[in-house]
Amino acid sequence: ETGVTQSPTHLIKTRGQQVTLRCSSQSGHNTVSWYQQALGQGPQFIFQYYREEENGRGNFPPRFSGLQFPNYSSELNVNALELDDSALYLCASSPGTGDTEAFFGQGTRLTVV
Amino acid sequence: RKEVEQDPGPFNVPEGATVAFNCTYSNSASQSFFWYRQDCRKEPKLLMSVYSSGNEDGRFTAQLNRASQYISLLIRDSKLSDSATYLCVVNGLSSYKLIFGSGTRLLVRP
């Protein structure tokens, strides 16, 4: 096991609602990245947090936002949910930014109906 | 053009077969390369990093050709447990982000 935990594991929301997903990073890791994986696709980078600051962002709209806390755990918030937001959301922690190895949590499967 | 391209497969091979996956990437400035394995409905897990000189880990061999922007993974003596999706991954223009291919699905049959 990677030591990265995500909650909840599954979630069903209605279009237009808001959702918060949570991630606890591996001990000693100060960097958390979030990815969205649609069915049949590879994970797509959403953003990364390093020491509580956003360190980079992918091509996702502003309704995708995040936070990192002093203990390096993190949240992903998505407002105004759309049907296309249905996906597996993956959190990855790493000991630093850059090209260090990323350890993934088991993911949160979000279904928007 | 996708930043990382892979043949989606599926590759359907018998146990004991040798199978090779290929991947191309568009950003010549990429410095880090990986193969991840993903089982059905599970998270991706690092299989191996890929180095310029090529590297081997048991039955798995990875090669990198920077000139052609091409990465490969060779699996020898396939096992049933090798059945999974194999994701080719490179770091992006900004090194903090990993760019994943769509994955190549491998099915190993008895």
**In the prediction, which pLDDT does A99 show?**
53
B101: left (phi over 0), alpha (psi -120 to 50) or beta: beta
Contacts of B97 in chain A (CB under 8 A): 33, 45, 48, 56, 58
pLDDT of A111 higher than 60? yes
Angle at B18 between CA B5 and CA B40, to 5 degrees: 55
Q: What residue type is assigned to position A25 of the chain?
A: S
Residue of A nearest to B96 (CA): A98
Asked if A102's CB is within 8 angstroms of B96's CB, the reply is no
Nearest to A43 by CA among B3, B81, B21: B3
pLDDT classification of A98: cutoffs 50, 70, 90? low
* pLDDT tens digits for range A41-95: 999 999 999 989 998 899 999 999 999 999 999 999 999 999 999 999 999 998 8
A75: tokens are: 């949240």
pLDDT of B93 higher than 80? no
More confident residue, B101 or B91: B101
Q: Which of B31, B94, B101 sits opposite A56 (nearest CB)?
A: B94
B34 CA: distance to closest CA in chain A (Å): 9
* pLDDT tens digits for range B45-83: 999 999 888 899 999 999 999 999 999 999 999 999 999
DSSP state of A71: T
Q: In the predicted model, what is the mean pLDDT of chain A?
A: 93
